[in-house]
Amino acid sequence: MPVFEVSSVAVVFLLILAVLVAFVTEVVPNDVTAISVVAALVVLEPWTGVGTRDAISGFANPATVTIIAMYMLSAGVQNTGIVERLGVILADFTGGSEFRALVATVCTTGPIAGFVNNTPVVAVFIPMVTGLAEDSKMSPSKLLLPLSYAAILGGTLTLIGTSTNILASDFARLLIDGRDGIGMFEFSGLGAVLLAVGLAYLLTVGWRLTPARVPPDSDPVSEFDLDDYLTFMQVRPDSSAVGESVEAFDAAHPDVRILQARRGGDAYAGPHSDRVIEAGDALVVHGSLQAVNRFREATGLGQRASSAVTEDTFEAAATEGALAKAVVPERSRYVGETIAETGLHEYHETSVLAVRREGELIRTDLADLTLRTGDLLLVRTTPAAIGYFAETGELVVADERAIEEIAAADTADIAPLSPKTPVALGILATVVAVAALDLLPIVIAALAGVVAMVVTGCLTTADAYDAVSWNVIFLLAGVIPLGIALESTGGAAVIAESLVALDGVLPLIGVLFVLYLVAGLLASVITPVATAVLMIPVGVDAAARLGANEFAFLLAVMFASATSFMTPVGYQTNLMVYGPGGYRFTDFLKVGGPLQLLLAVVATVGIAVGWGI
């Protein structure tokens, strides 16, 4: 290899290594890392061979545009309320049975995720699943991990099931002669087999391995270990609180938060209440032990040591506000902002009491805490705020009981069906049919579907833009040119050589299996999209050198990238259930590791039988 080529490959490999480290450590958000790659590739053009046009080609890539359109189409279907209504039907089906609750969860989520983006599906199902768990007197942890895994498995059913499938289709068009992408249902047979095997595992072995981390009917005060952070205070006649409104008194003492005031048998929510505090009132105060002691001494309040604050304390004022658990989803604008910067307290009368992050419980200095995707918040919030979060998706309320108590609604109000439901479902079905019959390229069919959704009133333009996980789009647009650099400099060929070397000790199906394992492990660390971009060219190149079926090797990377179970960070739905399920990092290894290995075997054999190698 010429010196120039060696140095080019070395530069690209070093850049990939830096990207991998950044993805794993998350020193900056992954989408920021990806956009930095675009700039770095152009700056290093003498070595990477990637100019300005190629560097920004990811934004105009058909896969990127298709994924944007599919996010919008999914939102149009989501707005119909059909998924929520299905959850209500499932609650009736389970009848309080633990196993029925599991069957209902996984057997419904999987097929839906084949046609609707699995992230919003999981967001809708999280509170419903916790409700099913409560009705069945079981830990929600036993259902939430299977929920995520079933949604991931459903993504293997169709071309639009997940973004990695769409990306793989574009790579097939670019890298394999005679291929014009992948058909809508071309791999659905194998996807159905993987779904069936995965569901069978979740209903048997996975059920036994999944831990019950969150106790049934757990009190969130105890679950977040807030016994020393929530205190009853008694208003004495000589206290400076007398005659002040709750809102003014709370604002004057920023180190603590007044969550509720009680008088006689009545309770009313704070801290935004204009109710005037009187002697004899009881106040529920949130803050560290030191802050509460300073507050008590400064205001002349007394402490009611005999009274403990529990969830029941807030249920007395549920029509004004109650406790709720909420997950920060990937596309929330709160990601990257401190809790103070979000304006939750000022604009939505929502007080964050604690945050659970990757097994760590954070209860102090919350105002300065920068929120991340997957954070689980315990909040004292209001009906209006719950409605806002549900409408915008900025937070996913993970507690169905809290939703019901705050909304004070009956079943019909909880899951209303839109009159536009048949129209939205018809548009989605038409998009699938048009793409499946090759009447139009999928990117055009999907964009036309979005236009139809907006024109028919199923989706507003604002909702369409809000539905897109733009961080995923920027991640995709940033790593696509990195894949171009890897291919054009010969870096993909260098990595492919290591796979080719295995041909001397393994049969061809063994090489395919190793490729699947490597791609699956990589997807668990650096996201499925990045794995597909980096590994598909490697797999196709290796197949060409081995004289093997290039499409079979592409499918192996595609399926491996789309089925990442071993870590909470490998797939966004895993991250969404991490906090509500109270899981540990090792739980994903224990439950997801055997599943990923099982599917690696089934998928490798299925690809060999279905397409040949």
Q: Is residue 574 part of a domain?
A: no
Mean pLDDT score, 191-218: 92
Q: How many structural domains comprise the chain? A: 2
Sort 27 into a burial class: Cβ within 10 Å, 0-12 / 13-18 / 19+.
exposed
Q: Which of 221-225, 515-519, 564-568, 587-591 has the lowest mean pLDDT?
A: 221-225
**Is 413's pLDDT higher than 50?**
no
Q: Is residue 244 part of a domain?
A: yes
Q: Is residue 577 part of a domain?
A: no
SS3 383: helix
**Is 399's pLDDT higher than 80?**
no
Task: Assess whether 243 and 285 both reside in one domain.
Answer: yes
Mean pLDDT score, 169-192: 93
Residue-level pLDDT at 138: 87
Residue 512 Cα to chain centre, angstroms: 30
Task: Assess whether 346 and 280 both reside in one domain.
Answer: no
Residue-level pLDDT at 403: 62
Element (DSSP H or E) covering residue 261: strand 257-263
Task: Assess whether 326 and 298 both reside in one domain.
Answer: no
Task: Assess whether 333 and 268 both reside in one domain.
Answer: no
Quote the percentage of the chain above a pLDDT of 90: 40
- Domain encompassing residue 389: 322-407
Boundary-marking domain end, from 373, 407, 441:
407
Mean pLDDT score, 242-264: 88
Task: Assess whether 291 and 330 both reside in one domain.
Answer: no
In order, the DSSP letters of 532-552 are HHHHHHHHHHHHHHHT--HHH
Closest C-alpha among 117, 202, 96 to residue 162: 117
- Report yes or no: 106 and 199 within 8 Å, Cβ to Cβ: yes
Closest C-alpha among 64, 79, 157 to residue 467: 79
Cβ partners under 8 Å of residue 534, min gap 6: 16, 479, 482, 483, 486, 522
CA dihedral of 266, 267, 268, 270, whole degrees rounded to 10: 150
Mean pLDDT score, 451-476: 88
Sort 307 into a burial class: Cβ within 10 Å, 0-12 / 13-18 / 19+.
middle
Q: Is residue 364 part of a domain?
A: yes
pTM, to two decimals: 0.85
Name the band, by pLDDT with cuts 50, 70 and 90, for residue 182.
Answer: very high
Name the band, by pLDDT with cuts 50, 70 and 90, for residue 454.
Answer: very high
Task: Assess whether 327 and 403 both reside in one domain.
Answer: yes
Residue-level pLDDT at 96: 66
* Range 414-424 burial, b when 16+ CB lie within 10 A, else e: bbeeeebbebb
Element (DSSP H or E) covering residue 589: helix 585-611
Residue-level pLDDT at 317: 60
Closest C-alpha among 416, 388, 384, 411 to residue 400: 411
Q: Is residue 425 part of a domain?
A: no
* Range 460-469 burial, b when 16+ CB lie within 10 A, else e: eeebbebbbb
Name the band, by pLDDT with cuts 50, 70 and 90, for residue 304.
Answer: confident
- Residue 20: CB atoms within 10 Å: 16
Name the band, by pLDDT with cuts 50, 70 and 90, for residue 31.
Answer: confident
**Is 308's pLDDT higher than 90?**
no
Q: What is the pLDDT of residues 61-89, one digit of tens each?
A: 898 999 999 989 988 887 887 777 776 67
Task: Assess whether 267 and 338 both reside in one domain.
Answer: no
Residue-level pLDDT at 148: 94
Q: Are strands 376-381 and 266-269 parallel, antiparallel or unpaired?
A: unpaired
Name the band, by pLDDT with cuts 50, 70 and 90, for residue 320.
Answer: low
Residue-level pLDDT at 3: 39
Residue-level pLDDT at 421: 87
Residue-level pLDDT at 1: 40
**Encoding tokens for residue 246?**
């709750």
- Report yes or no: 323 and 402 within 8 Å, Cβ to Cβ: yes
Mean pLDDT score, 242-252: 90
Q: Is residue 291 part of a domain?
A: yes
Element (DSSP H or E) covering residue 165: helix 163-175
More confident residue, 335 or 450: 450
**Is 347's pLDDT higher than 50?**
yes
Cβ partners under 8 Å of residue 59, min gap 6: 477
Task: Assess whether 256 and 300 both reside in one domain.
Answer: yes
- Report yes or no: 379 and 323 within 8 Å, Cβ to Cβ: yes
Q: Distance between CA 607 and CA 602 in Å, rounded? A: 9
Name the band, by pLDDT with cuts 50, 70 and 90, for residue 2.
Answer: very low
**Is 538's pLDDT higher than 90?**
yes
Mean pLDDT score, 311-323: 70
**Encoding tokens for residue 561?**
């990238």
Residue-level pLDDT at 95: 65
The CATH number that applies at residue 259 is: 3.30.70.1450
More confident residue, 484 or 158: 158
Q: Is residue 129 part of a domain?
A: no
**Is 319's pLDDT higher than 70?**
no
Cis omega before residue 329 (within 30°)? no
If you average pLDDT over every residue of the chain, what do you get? 87
CA dihedral of 479, 482, 486, 492, whole degrees rounded to 10: -10
Supply the Cα-derived Rg of the chain in whole angstroms. 26
Name the band, by pLDDT with cuts 50, 70 and 90, for residue 236.
Answer: very high
Q: Is residue 372 part of a domain?
A: yes
Residue-level pLDDT at 200: 96
Q: What is the pLDDT of residues 551-564, one digit of tens each?
A: 999 999 999 999 98
Q: What is the pLDDT of residues 97-116, one digit of tens each?
A: 788 888 888 998 999 889 88
Tokens 């290796």, located at residue:
542
- Report yes or no: 528 and 564 within 8 Å, Cβ to Cβ: yes
Residue-level pLDDT at 27: 79
Q: Distance between CA 90 and CA 88 in Å, rounded? A: 5
Boundary-marking domain end, from 362, 385, 407:
407
Q: Distance between CA 158 and CA 66 in Å, rounded? A: 14
Boundary-marking domain end, from 308, 330, 357:
308
